[in-house]
Amino acid sequence: MMQICQDSYCNKHSLLNVMNRFIAAANNMDETIMVPSLLRDVPLDEEDEASITQNNNDNEPTCPGKQRDMYEHYLLLKSIKNEMEWGLLKREMTGGASFLEMAVKQEEQQVNGGPAEDCSDLEGQFHFHLRGLFGVLSKLTVQADHLTNRYKREIGGGSLLR
């Protein structure tokens, strides 16, 4: 049994490996960003920052509701990491409902309320969700690394300090 677990950690395509890479990237992000409040009102992408500067120079109103700043993205990545480590029970104890929790409840309602044939393709459902999980975790890992590197560049250049 122990051999199977060790083999899954060695396989770069295993779910555990993808999860561990995201958690490591999120931990690195959390350790690097010492003052998260400096990320407020800083656009997530450098291209967005240039377009906002251009729009402000043209006296055109920007749409702040559409833009997610680096601080909100930092909180989102940290929240996802915590839910992965602690599961949905921690969120239930605090009384809030997360996006993950709502998705799980919606899935349960569809399975319980739908025809019995929906449950017959559990393998197909598993593979569908596994592919989705791999894709999402890979993107989240890249985003956590990007946020960490951008923070390092901005702090190094001092452009976040106002």
What pLDDT does residue 57 have? 47
What pLDDT does residue 82 have? 92
Look at residue 87 and tell me whether its pLDDT is greater than 50: yes
Look at residue 125 and tell me whether its pLDDT is greater than 50: yes
* Residue 98 pLDDT grade (very low, low, confident, very high; cuts 50, 70, 90): low
Residues 43 and 56: their CA atoms lie apart, in Å, by 14
Tokens representing 17? 């490996």
Task: Report the mean per-residue pLDDT for the chain.
Answer: 76
Q: Is 43 helix (H, G, I), strand (E, B) or coil?
A: strand
Look at residue 142 and tell me whether its pLDDT is greater than 60: yes
Range scoring the smallest mean pLDDT among 37-41, 57-61, 116-120: 57-61
Compute CA 114 distance to the chain's CA centroid, rounded to the nearest angstrom. 30
Look at residue 56 and tell me whether its pLDDT is greater than 60: no
Packed helices 122-157 and 70-86: angle between N→C axes, nearest 10 degrees? 140
Name the pTM for this structure: 0.66
Residue 43 has φ and ψ, to the nearest 5°, of -55, 150
Mean pLDDT of 143-156: 91
